[in-house]
Every structure is written in C-alpha cells, then in structure tokens.
Amino acid sequence: MHGNLSGLRPAQKKSLENLYRRRIEPGRLGSPELVRNLAELAYDVRREVGVLIDRRGRVISVSVADAKATAFPELRMGENRLSGFHLLHAHPKGGALSKGDLSTLFLKRLDAVAVIEVGQDGRPGLVHAAHLTPPGSIGEEEDWRILPPVAPFEVDAFDLGAQVSALEEEIARASRTRAAQKERERAILIQIDQGEFDAEDRLDELGELARTAGAEVVWRELVYRRNLKAGTLVGAGKLEELTSRAYHLDAELLIFGQELGAAQAREIEAATGLKVLDRTQLILDIFALHAQGQESRLQVELAQLRYMKPRLLGAGAQLSRIGASGGSASSGAIGTRGPGETKLELDRRRINDRISFLEKQLQAVATRREERRKSRGRNDVPVISIVGYTNAGKSTLLNAFTHAAEEPRRVLAENKLFATLRPTSRQGFLSGLGQVVLTDTVGFIRDLPADLSRAFRATLEEIGDADVLLHVVDASAPDFEVRLGAVERILEDLALSDMPVVIALNKADAANPEALRRLQERHGGVAVSALSGLGLSALKEELVQAASKVQQERAAQEVAAQQQAEQWRGATGLD
C-alpha cells in the first residue's frame, strides 16, 4: 500500500489492504461493487483512494494519494504501446477529472483513468473516465478523450478492452508508417529566451546545428523565461506540453539551446521520456562526425570526455545510454558518436586515464609540429590564414583563390557547420606579390564550448603563424554583426587581435544590398562572392597590400636589428 497512511486506524488500513483481493472482469473499467467500496473508503479516510488495475482485472496497487502521487510499477515507457494498467480512484471532495488525472493518464500512458465522485453520505456519484487519443489525431484538441459520465451501476458497460486494442492498433500502425519513412532522428528544439536580443538567431543556429548533425527538426520553440527553474529549466508544465508535442510529432529527441547540467538533463529526461541533448553535445557530435586525421580525432575525443566527466558522477541510466553506443563517427545516434578508433569508454575509473593519455598524445603531436615549423624557418612566402564564423564560406573562398577547380586539390566546402576541422594549406598566387600560402581552418561559433576551444587550442593558435588574417563574414546572415563580434572575441582570447586583418564580406550575391552597405561602412572590408567570383580581384588587391605592408615592416625590423648589432659591435670594439 502506498501514499499518505498517517493517522489511519488499523481497521481502515485493513479495509484498504483488502482492495488487493478484488478482481474485476477483464476489459472493464471497474465493477459496481468496487466503485462503491472505493467511494466508502475515500469518504472514511477523507483522502483520495485509487487502485491500479491490470488487463487481467487484478488490483496491482492501492494508493492513498491523488493520481499524480499514485505508485506505478515499472512502466514500459517509450514503447509504442500503452502501459497495460488503468487507474480507478475516488475523489472524496467530489469533482470530475482533474488536470492532474489527465496528465497522469498521458504521461504514464495509462489504458484509462476513471474518477468516482463521492457524495456527502459516502455513496458513489457519477463516474468519469478518459482515455488517450492516437498520436497525431486530427481534430482532437487534446491528448485524451473524456467519455460521458455514467452512474456507478453502469460502470462495467464500457468496453475498455475493445477501446485499448483499437488504440494500440492505431499507435502501432502510425509508428510503422513513420518508421518506414523515417531515416533521421526527429528532434524538438528549445531555445530559452531570457531577453537576449539574438535569441531568435540562436534558435536558427541551433536548427542549423541539428540539421548538420543529421536530425530532422519537427518543432522549434523559443521559450521566454525571465527566471529558470533549477531542475527542469523551463518548468514541469512546459515539459508536459513538450512531451505531448513529441508524442504527436513522433519526436524522440529534445535539444536545448543552452548548456544543461547533469542533474538537469537527467530530470528533463525522466520527466519527458525523451532523449535530451544540449547545444554543446550537438556541437561535439558534429565535430566527432567531421573529425578526420589523427589530431582532430584526439582533440574531439578529449573535448567529449572533458564535457562528460562531471556529468558521469552519479549518472545511472544516462551513463549506460551514452556508453552503449561507442562506435564509429558515421553510425550511431545523435549525441553518442565517438571520434574514431577508440570507443568512448565511459567507465568512470578509466576516464581520467584516458584524458591524460589523450593530452599526452596531443602534446606529442604539437611538439612534432613545432619542430617541423622551426626547421622550416620563416620562409619568405607570405601566409594568409582564413578565419571566420562557421559556414561563412572560408573553404569556398580558398577554392576560388587557388583555382582548385581540379577535384583532388579542392577542399571540402558544403552547407554544413564545421565542415572543416583540420587546417588545410594550399599554394596560391597573388599578382604583385607572387606565391602565397592560404590556410583554411576550423570555423568559429558564438559561445564556443569551453572544452572544445581548449582541445582545439593548438589548431587555433596556429592561425597566429600567418602574416595576414583573412576574416570571411557571411554578409547574407541576418546576424552577421553578432557573428563578426564573436569571431573577434575568439581572436582576442587567442591573443591574435593585433594581427593585420582583411575582411571579406562574402555571399554578397545573396546579401541584402542595404545591409551590406551598412556592414561595409561600419567594418570596412571587400564585398565578394566566393561562388560567383564577384569582387575577388578587389579582395586580392587588399590582401597584396596588407601582406606587402607586413613584409616591408619585417624587412625594416631586420634592417634595424642589423644596425643595432653593428652599433653594439662598434661600441664594444669586438669584431
């Protein structure tokens, strides 16, 4: 027996205990006797009394509590079926089905919920019942259908068994058709709006990230919340609404635009029965998908482990969920993909070992690169590093610049975020300057997850080896200004903001001319289209100027250094 039993007399407890012995005809809501019995007991103890009945008509749990607090056995949640139980309970204060009754029906996937009104004299009044409607049902306002109330002696008239099989049949059919059509995970996106001016753009960006990760976005929502709830972030009511949304849209994935703490993710997962991811996990997942080459794989795995480590403390189900996937980058569910050879071993005892192993490996890679760099010396060929927000068109521009029309030399450019993770250098030619080296690199994003920026630090710092930065801006993005700022902030963090920069306002072909003009007024830069070739010669000229200036300065510095050395030799009389 469950619920609030305090203050009950032994005789009352005994009568409640006896409920376990009741049986009703299978496929019925209840029997007139059970209804009478429940009403009397609720009247007697002045609390709600409910029984959970299985499909064989047996009482499997008795609770002195309202529907929400009723004790449920381990339910077969997440399957495309109902739970196989229905709840029959008595409200001593009278009243029909409450909001709590109905949401319990929905969240626990009950076969039905029924409530018995209890009269002043403890006699049963009307019985109200409701059952779920099939997912995606058209014309149904709610997730449930409320049946017309019946008198207590008519309670066994309703054919619950037939209703349940019809509904389960419909659920199964719907899920079969969808499974046949469905190739990608269906996701619901939530961006919390706390009054940021770019909340809408963040939601758009989250959509792009989700698409790149291979999800199909079936619903997206900006949720305005001044104050966030500690556990559920958006509040239990909102989560209930989202659960219902997911049920009807057949979504299995809930993606939040803000970073979730471990406990939050678990609580939201438990409340909705959905798989929950945050933006950082999504970005990590995309990195894992796109990582090629030893170094990026190590970097991504390190970032993933660092992100997961604090989240594994005290994790139960979630741990096994993530750990179970392991696997390669190309297969597996979103948010669970690992970067390559080694499976993500999420054994808590081994995670630290693995992290320090990866750190050592990366250190070794960095040292080797540093040695190579030194042995190469400063060569006279100017190096231009292409930087910018992800998907701005950096790789496309590199291709356009280096006439890499020939397939094998072409770098990958596509409408995906973080298509490029590994720095790629190509020889180019700028008339007036001669040979140059152009380097394409990983794109930036606002609020770059700290674990990622730490793991990619070496790659990012390499940008500093260049003579000139070519900052590519997507001028067709509605929030180019924010993106431009985000890139500048990251450059600052990398102590690279003093480097000479040429700005390319790319995608001019698709940009709003007025916005482009404003952008140009405020930040300078050359309007180009890497796709059509528009403005490329003007951009080349700018680059030649910037690079020549750097070369001249460097030459002047060398001369000055030489002079100083000579002076010093003269002053000391040494030769």
What is the contact surface with Mg ion in residues (CB under 5 A)?
A: 394-395, 419-420
Local structure of 6: helix, strand or coil: coil
Cα dihedral 501, 507, 509, 510 in deg (nearest 10): -140
Interior angle at CA 319, CA 316 and CA 323, nearest 5: 150
Binding of residue 420 to ligand GTP (CB under 6 A): yes
If the CB atoms of residues 185 and 440 are measured against ligand GTP, the closer one turns out to be: 440
If the CB atoms of residues 394 and 540 are measured against Mg ion, the closer one turns out to be: 394
Identify the burial level of 227 via C-beta atoms within 10 angstroms of its C-beta, where 0-12 means exposed, 13-18 middle and 19 or more buried: exposed
If the CB atoms of residues 110 and 530 are measured against ligand GTP, the closer one turns out to be: 530
Which residues face 469 on adjacent strands? 385, 501
Per this entry, what is the length of the chain?
575
Distance CA 215, CA 208 (A): 10
What is the x/- site pattern for ligand GTP, positions 198-237, by CB under 6 A? ----------------------------------------
Kindly list the strands in the beta sheet with 275-278, ordered across the sheet, starting from the edge strand earlier in the chain: 216-224, 186-193, 253-256, 275-278
If the CB atoms of residues 296 and 420 are measured against Mg ion, the closer one turns out to be: 420
Chain residue whose CB lies nearest Mg ion: 420
Binding of residue 296 to ligand GTP (CB under 6 A): no
If the CB atoms of residues 70 and 441 are measured against ligand GTP, the closer one turns out to be: 441
From the list ligand GTP, Mg ion, none, pick the one residue 414 interacts with, judged by a Cβ distance below 5 to 8 Å according to partner type: ligand GTP
Binding residue for ligand GTP, selected from 50, 135, 382, 443, defined by CB under 6 A: 443
Q: Which helix (H) or strand (E) holds 272?
A: helix 262-272
Residue 441 CB, shortest distance to ligand GTP, in Å, is: 8
Residue 97 CB, shortest distance to Mg ion, in Å, is: 56
Distance CA 423, CA 399 (A): 14
If the CB atoms of residues 155 and 530 are measured against ligand GTP, the closer one turns out to be: 530
Residue 196 CB, shortest distance to Mg ion, in Å, is: 27
Residue 424 CB, shortest distance to ligand GTP, in Å, is: 10
How remote is the C-alpha of 141 from its chain's centroid? 29
Residue 336 CB, shortest distance to Mg ion, in Å, is: 25
- Evaluated on CA atoms 424, 479, 504, 405, the torsion sign reads positive
Chain residue whose CB lies nearest ligand GTP: 443
Which residues face 190 on adjacent strands? 221, 256
Please count the residues of this chain forming the interface with ligand GTP, following the rule CB under 6 A.
Answer: 24
Query: What is the residue type of 496?
Result: L
530, two tokens:
């890497």
213, two tokens:
């990760």
State residue 129 phi and psi, 5-degree precision. -135, 155
* Closest C-alpha to 311, from 343, 339, 284: 284
If the CB atoms of residues 264 and 296 are measured against ligand GTP, the closer one turns out to be: 296
From the list ligand GTP, Mg ion, none, pick the one residue 279 interacts with, judged by a Cβ distance below 5 to 8 Å according to partner type: none
Residue 350 CB, shortest distance to Mg ion, in Å, is: 34
Which residues in 359-418 contact ligand GTP (CB under 6 A)? Answer: 388, 390-396, 413-418
Identify the burial level of 316 via C-beta atoms within 10 angstroms of its C-beta, where 0-12 means exposed, 13-18 middle and 19 or more buried: exposed
Binding of residue 71 to ligand GTP (CB under 6 A): no
Residue 218 CB, shortest distance to ligand GTP, in Å, is: 23
From the list ligand GTP, Mg ion, none, pick the one residue 417 interacts with, judged by a Cβ distance below 5 to 8 Å according to partner type: ligand GTP
Residue 475 CB, shortest distance to ligand GTP, in Å, is: 9
Which residues face 277 on adjacent strands? 255
Which residues in 489-528 contact ligand GTP (CB under 6 A)? Answer: 506-507, 509-510
Which residues of the shown chain bind ligand GTP in the complex (CB under 6 A)?
Answer: 388, 390-396, 413-420, 443, 506-507, 509-510, 529-531
